Structure 1
């Protein structure tokens, strides 16, 4: 009898032990559920340059909104170098990011990288500047042509028709350069005498140097339209005490402060913070399988002392 009871007890312990160690036990199912949830969405972001307050604001907005949405971002700075941007984007593609947000340095040069992302089935969103080829899910930007027209009309209103003016152009090949120049000349070609238009590559130091050269050759100019605020602020340094109207484009904090101080006459203000928010909201729509607009315009305003 004792042998029977001992045998029965051993069998019971064995069976109970097998039940506790079963692969289908509740504790292991919960563990699988915890680790098998939604994977984190990773967004690669390529910015043309972070040596410009406008794009710093754009980056900060993207980071803040992505964190709010629970997305991970990998941000790279092209440093206004098209070749570096191409390599940066290729690296992001190789890292298998889920989405790409690109602010192109050169609209043509970056096109091949967009096509590489297309081949890897990575949706691309461009911000502030478009690309010449490749499939883009959405292009988010201000209406640069309208902004150029706003700047030109302000100058006409200040100096009158037929006045001699100069134009500081942005990076050659950038869509913003083409569009802002187009808008400016839509008005200027009819109402102003554009005696010089030279590139200063969206750079403050170059804006100063180019403006000095323009003034030497054209001492009678009455106004300068710059394709961005950095060049406009550089032009102000070159002008010293000369009474010349200067209009920038972007609405950066430095430019707004200069307008308020009575130095810069006006800036066509974009909203880089809203651009960044819109880019991340567009990613969210794509994540959710929703349709997105192929072109999204962000409102502009002309900032003057008045």
Structure 2
């Protein structure tokens, strides 16, 4: 009888331990903070740099970081956010594929009491602790003013837009068009190429066929600018190209005298500041609702 009671006691204690371990909700049990990072894509060098900046800062600060790639697919992004919520991470950093599509995921994290910080692209809804990004309106204006200066305030320009619905595309376009509105520059074509190099080439080929008189092109990112540059080279026409992001390929193109300029963001710093801000918040410190990251113009 005594043996039976001992066995029952051991069984009860074992079940209690299992129950305790299963209620951690995926949070780190060794005291280290666990941060989730959902990246829009890893095929774009800009976002690779952002991820690397976040990972380096997480290592420096001794926090665990789980990185998930949304592959530029809003449905995949929803799945990634759900995965991190299920894991019970302490905070989620998200670089949205789309500022509207991410809203429900942000709200789901809000319901789970998991703070959210957005990187580079904002969310159009839900409660966000902080938004860390370049001033994209100022960057678009910087590009527009550079083109105006180089063309003497007159000429025809093409605008290649990023993914519709992203705050980056909206804000860069806004800044550029505000600059153009104060000049005699005319936007003769405006089309989306989804921040993609191949689409940039395809869209620009079509525009070149329909627009015989173009002096300049502004693309919302360097990938589209570099694709469009290939189409321009093939056409034999002389068109000034200005991009945005200052990726390694774009800076090399500027230094080679092919692209005229690119607006330099600091994606590594955006990722780094994201993790730094997350850790500050988790340690009970107050953080700013909006944290701008400095821009500059890269020319030869």
Tell me the TM-score normalised to structure 1 length. Answer: 0.86
Map of 1:224 onto structure 2: 217
**Structure with greater Cα Rg:** 1
Q: Is 1:259 aligned with 2:251?
A: no
Map of 1:45 onto structure 2: 37
- Within 5 Å, which residues of 2 pair with 1:83-94? 83-94=75-86
- Within 5 Å, which residues of 2 pair with 1:1-306? 39-191=31-183, 192-240=185-233, 241-305=236-300
Q: What is the CA-CA distance between 1:151 and the residue it aligns to?
A: 0.2
Map of 1:8 onto structure 2: none
CA distance in structure 2 between the partners assigned to 1:82 and 1:188 by the alignment: 32
CA distance in structure 2 between the partners assigned to 1:208 and 1:132 by the alignment: 30
Gaps of 5+ in 1: 1-35
CA distance in structure 2 between the partners assigned to 1:258 and 1:82 by the alignment: 32
Q: Which has the higher contact order (CA 8 A, sep 6+)?
A: 2
Q: Deviations over 1:73-120 (max 9, x none)?
A: 111111111111111111111111111000001000000000000011
Q: What is the CA-CA distance between 1:162 and the residue it aligns to?
A: 3.0
SS at match of 1:234: helix
Q: Deviations over 1:97-146 (max 9, x none)?
A: 11100000100000000000001111111000100001111000000000
CA distance in structure 2 between the partners assigned to 1:82 and 1:218 by the alignment: 34
Q: What is the CA-CA distance between 1:37 and the residue it aligns to?
A: 8.4
Q: What is the CA-CA distance between 1:38 and the residue it aligns to?
A: 5.5
Q: What is the CA-CA distance between 1:288 and the residue it aligns to?
A: 1.4
Alpha carbons of 1:37 and 1:119: their partners in 2 closer, same or farther (altered >3 Å)? closer
SS at match of 1:284: helix
SS at match of 2:182: helix
CA distance in structure 1 between the partners assigned to 2:190 and 2:268 by the alignment: 30
Q: Pick which of 81-90 and 197-206 moved more.
A: 81-90
Q: Which portions of structure 1, spanning 4 or more consecutive aligned residues, are displaced by more than 2 angstroms? A: none
SS at match of 2:133: strand
Map of 2:10 onto structure 1: none
SS at match of 1:236: helix
Gaps of 5+ in 2: 1-27
CA distance in structure 1 between the partners assigned to 2:80 and 2:30 by the alignment: 27
Q: Deviations over 1:242-266 (max 9, x none)?
A: 2100000011111111111111110
Q: Pick which of 282-291 and 106-115 moved more.
A: 282-291
CA distance in structure 2 between the partners assigned to 1:219 and 1:281 by the alignment: 50
Tell me the TM-score normalised to structure 2 length. Answer: 0.88
- State the superposition RMSD in angstroms: 1.2
